[in-house]
Amino acid sequence: MKKNELWTGRCENYTHDGMGVIKKDGFPYFVKGLLKGEKALIRTIKLKKTYGFGKVEELLDESPARAIPPCPLAGRCGGCQLQHMSYPEQLAFKRQKVQDVITRIAKLDLEVLPVIGMETPYFYRNKAQVPVGIVKGQTVSGFYRINSNDIVDMEECCIQSHLINKVYGTIRAHLQEDQQLAEQLRHVLIKHAFSHDEIMVVLITREMKSAGCKHLAETLMAAHPQIKGIVQNINQRKDNVILGEKEILLAGRPYIEDEIDGLTFRISSKSFYQVNPIQTRVLYEQALACCELSGNEQVLDLYCGVGTISMFLARHAAKVTGIEIVPDAIRNAKENAARNAFENLEFICSDAAAYADRLAAEGNKPDVICVDPPRKGCAKSVLEDIARMAPQRIVYVSCDPGTLARDLRILDELGYETVSVQPVDMFPQTSGVETVVLLSKGEIDSKKVRVEFSLEDMDMSGFQKGATYEQIKAYVLEKYGLKVSSLYISQVKRKCGLDVGQNYNLSKKEDAKVPQCPPEKEAAIMEALKHFHMV
């Protein structure tokens, strides 16, 4: 097969981000915008040693699950990946995405529950973060093109709230007339509190100059009475961090207030807050149900953020302690707790790993531990400390199925049984999915304990020439955001004819199944081997 060659194939599956997968003579191709079961005329656009990318030239057999994207920028804008899928197909894709890692990585024989979706999977977002730039002398604003820093000029977005779109439209029109201000701006951030219908606008500038910002603020306040505050944020950094440290209040107040299930939350420019308020309530209700609180429990909430889940739980528990390393988040959490008159809530600013280790060493025994870690998941030491505290239930809220599955496998080895896995669609039209998992403390039957020896659990660096396994893992994680096992690295090295020592892939069981490295991870490992001059 050569670049630009035309061929036909039928889509067999999806990648983790929703691209179609076609195998041509056993060789995998990833094709954007192709649905499972569809047959198409494909043009090869990129070839690697172990996989390729294709482009649909003509759709020969259309799936009944295909949808007409409502957005004219679908396929170009990087904000959405799945508008060509019907919503039931999106939910099925996300369920399978979670199921795959639960089976393959967590190694659990457990059926993932159907994804809880939305009635109306559009116009749901309460936050828009829009880059601004000048291209060929013209002001552009919108979201980045897929895998690029190029801005796709956008008039409105069908997953942002209607009110955000109206406010953005006013800003966009103003910037078309004031290019000098557009040159000062890095991003425009708009936040919408659905329950109170309040808007906050943050103008993120490169310099302190604010004359143009003040004029825009006056225009916005006059045009939209829902705007309660406009802030200028100054960010002089040269990297991709969006918000700077210094802020100037241009109009109104520096926050908006929102309400979820009777709880009031104050949201500032830097506050973390779930972007889908409709599904946030669903997500937290699932977490609450998993906790099975009677009013007498001591609950530990690790990675508590601004305390949203903590407050949901505190109404049904004797005491909830929230732990978070970000000082601003803890300050907001304490303010929110006071605003809602909680007396059984305590928030502590600390590294989750360090605090969990201290609690475990002191012999603390919370009844329930809730964790809502960042995308990278929990450190193994945190999971070990959780097991030492021996709660009856662990509730794990995750935004990354891969790291969730890794952590569930560790918890399984520590004696915790995964009882239920419930995905919630917080991000319709995109490949993202949140998951709520319930684990319970089980007794280990000593007669069933067995010791298995595998390359995945070993440090094989002493056998290797060139980069160690850990160096390869670190490179792949940093550059591609993928976690790869020693087993996968050894499989790719063997394909390249590199020595991997003994064949640790083999099992004494005749029917043993060895997990095979997925194409995207194989490609990333191959690039790492090239980087370290091993191939």
Per-residue pLDDT of 133-172, as tens digits, reads 999 999 999 999 988 899 999 999 999 999 999 999 999 9
Question: Who wins on pLDDT, 515 or 443?
Answer: 515
- Mean pLDDT confidence for 233-251: 93
Kindly indicate the confidence band of residue 97, based on its pLDDT and cuts at 50, 70 and 90.
very high
Give me the percent of the chain exceeding a pLDDT of 70.
92
6-66 maps to which CATH number?
2.40.50.140
Torsion sign across C-alpha atoms 253, 255, 260, 261: negative
pLDDT at position 499: 66
For residue 413, pLDDT over 50 is answered with yes
pLDDT at position 514: 59
pLDDT at position 456: 39
273 is in an annotated binding site: no
Question: Who wins on pLDDT, 443 or 467?
Answer: 467
168 is in an annotated binding site: no
* CATH ID of 127-260, from 1.10.10.10, 2.40.50.140, 2.40.50.180, 2.40.50.1070: 2.40.50.1070
Kindly indicate the confidence band of residue 454, based on its pLDDT and cuts at 50, 70 and 90.
very low
77 is catalytic: no
274 is in an annotated binding site: yes
CA gap 434, 98 in Å, rounded: 10
For the chain, give every residue range classified as CATH 3.40.50.150. 104-117+276-448
396 is in an annotated binding site: no
Closest CA to 243 of 190, 183, 201, 202: 202
Each residue's pLDDT tens digit, 465-493: 467 887 888 888 877 778 888 888 888 88
Question: Who wins on pLDDT, 454 or 64?
Answer: 64
104-117+276-448 maps to which CATH number?
3.40.50.150
Each residue's pLDDT tens digit, 31-52: 999 999 999 999 999 999 999 9
Looking only at the bridges linking them, the beta strands covering 227-234 and 198-205 are parallel
Residue 120 CB burial class (10 angstroms; 0-12, 13-18, ≥19): exposed
For the chain, give every residue range classified as CATH 2.40.50.1070. 127-260
User: Other CB atoms closer than 10 Å to residue 376's CB: what's the count?
Assistant: 11
Kindly indicate the confidence band of residue 507, based on its pLDDT and cuts at 50, 70 and 90.
very low
Min mean pLDDT across 11-25, 38-52, 104-118, 512-526 is at 512-526
In this structure, the dihedral spanned by the alpha carbons of residues 270, 274, 277 and 283, taken in order and rounded to 10 degrees, is -160
Which residue among 71, 290, 349, 399 is the active-site one? 399
Kindly indicate the confidence band of residue 510, based on its pLDDT and cuts at 50, 70 and 90.
very low
* 8 A C-beta contact, residue 229 and residue 255: yes
